[in-house]
Amino acid sequence: MKVLFVCSGNSENFNIIPFIKAQGDSLEALGVQVEYYPVIGKGLIGYLKAGLKLRQYLKTRSFDLIHAHFSLSGWAAVIGAGNTPVVLSLMGDDAQGNYIGVNKIEFKSRLFMLSTKLIQPFVDVIISKSVNLEKHVYLKRKSIVIPNGINTRIFTPRMDVRKQDVGFSPDKQQVLFLGNRSRIGKNFSLAQQAVGRLNSSQVELVNPFPLRHGDIPRYLNAADVLVLPSFMEGSPNVVKEAMACNCPIVATDVGDVKWLLGDTEGCYITSFDPTDFAEKIKAALSFSREKGRTNGAKRIEELGLDSATVAQRVLEVYQKVISNDKGSMVYRTDLREEVAK
């Protein structure tokens, strides 16, 4: 099977976004030939132009299927695909908008939400990374929920990682924020306020952004707690990565985070209130001091969120699309019911 990934190429050095590349790698391990078509362009017009270029590109190349990541890439794929089937992955703000406050969506991102609605009749299957994203898919017959998987050979508990190895002070506890603090939706100020309320010289908030993706496991193994104060998420990879490293977590109730954490001891759901956030961080730091690490890696295994298992699910979708058997795109472990519990 030969699959073309259509995705943004606008990141630094035109690299493929790490979690998209990771999914491609996991599919290749199953024997799928994956090639990448990075879209260089901004906004809807840029992606529409990219679709015309893709059409020319496909005149000399043949693929069994195109998998587009994010709805704008989906438009490029639809325009360029011809008779090649298209699978679209919805990742987050393309479906639900860019949140800039509690229940507050940036106005211009509503155009991308509209784009996500309009594209649905033109693709064969829509993969949502979480149940809350699937709510924005109205063509349910085309819909399936499959979160991104985590490479548990890379994101794994490591007792040999010391705080000094990543530049942390061994005499303090580190609260790790891995997002881009300049992105309003990541809500870094809430983490700042919460840590400030602890009023402790022995606790420091660290934000080593940007990091190479390959360096993240060491930071997660060295930190005392990961915080995710976001206003909204889909299925945040960093939470799954932290769990796979057995790192304690404090996160707002966004996306599928509550389902991901389950009842894992040392992991806490918080409101957007700074005092509540501070109390949950305090509890997580206490857990870190007294018990060390969580059992999050076991939870990831139980949920089947390792990259190999997720790749098999995606491959099954591909096979159904190619064989034109899309009548029952139901997530085999009935994720919708599981999340609702």
CATH number of the domain where residue 168 is located: 3.40.50.2000
Q: Are residues 141 and 183 in the same domain?
A: no
d(CA 126, CA 146): 10
Q: Which domain holds residue 169?
A: 163-301
Q: Are residues 264 and 181 in the same domain?
A: yes
- Whether residue 156 lies inside any domain: the answer is no
d(CA 158, CA 217): 9
- Whether residue 158 lies inside any domain: the answer is no
- Looking at residue 46, what is its pLDDT? 86
- 56 pLDDT above the threshold of 80: yes
Handedness of CA 261, 247, 225, 189 (dihedral sign): negative
- Whether residue 182 lies inside any domain: the answer is yes
Q: Are residues 295 and 311 in the same domain?
A: no
- Whether residue 155 lies inside any domain: the answer is no
35's tokens: 């090639």
Say how many C-beta atoms besides its own lie within 10 A of residue 240's C-beta: 26
Q: Are residues 211 and 296 in the same domain?
A: yes
**Number of domain units in the chain:** 2
- Whether residue 295 lies inside any domain: the answer is yes
pLDDT digits (tens, 9 = 90+) for 62-77: 999 999 999 999 999 9
- Whether residue 79 lies inside any domain: the answer is yes
Tell me the pTM.
0.92
Which DSSP category does 140 fall into? G
Report the candidate in 87, 221, 220 with the shortest Cα–Cα distance to residue 161. Answer: 221
Q: Are residues 6 and 100 in the same domain?
A: yes
In single-letter form, the type of residue at position 8 comes to S
Q: Are residues 215 and 116 in the same domain?
A: no
The answer to whether 258 and 243 have CB atoms below 8 angstroms apart is: no
Q: Are residues 17 and 81 in the same domain?
A: yes
Contacts with 53 (C-beta within 8 Å, 6 or more apart), sequence order:
80
Place of tokens 């009749």: 121
Q: Are residues 115 and 224 in the same domain?
A: no
Please state the rounded mean pLDDT for residues 287-294: 96
Q: Using 50, 70 and 90 to split pLDDT, how confident is the model at 326?
A: low
The residue ranges of DSSP E strands in 198-266, in sequence order, are: 203-206, 225-228, 249-252
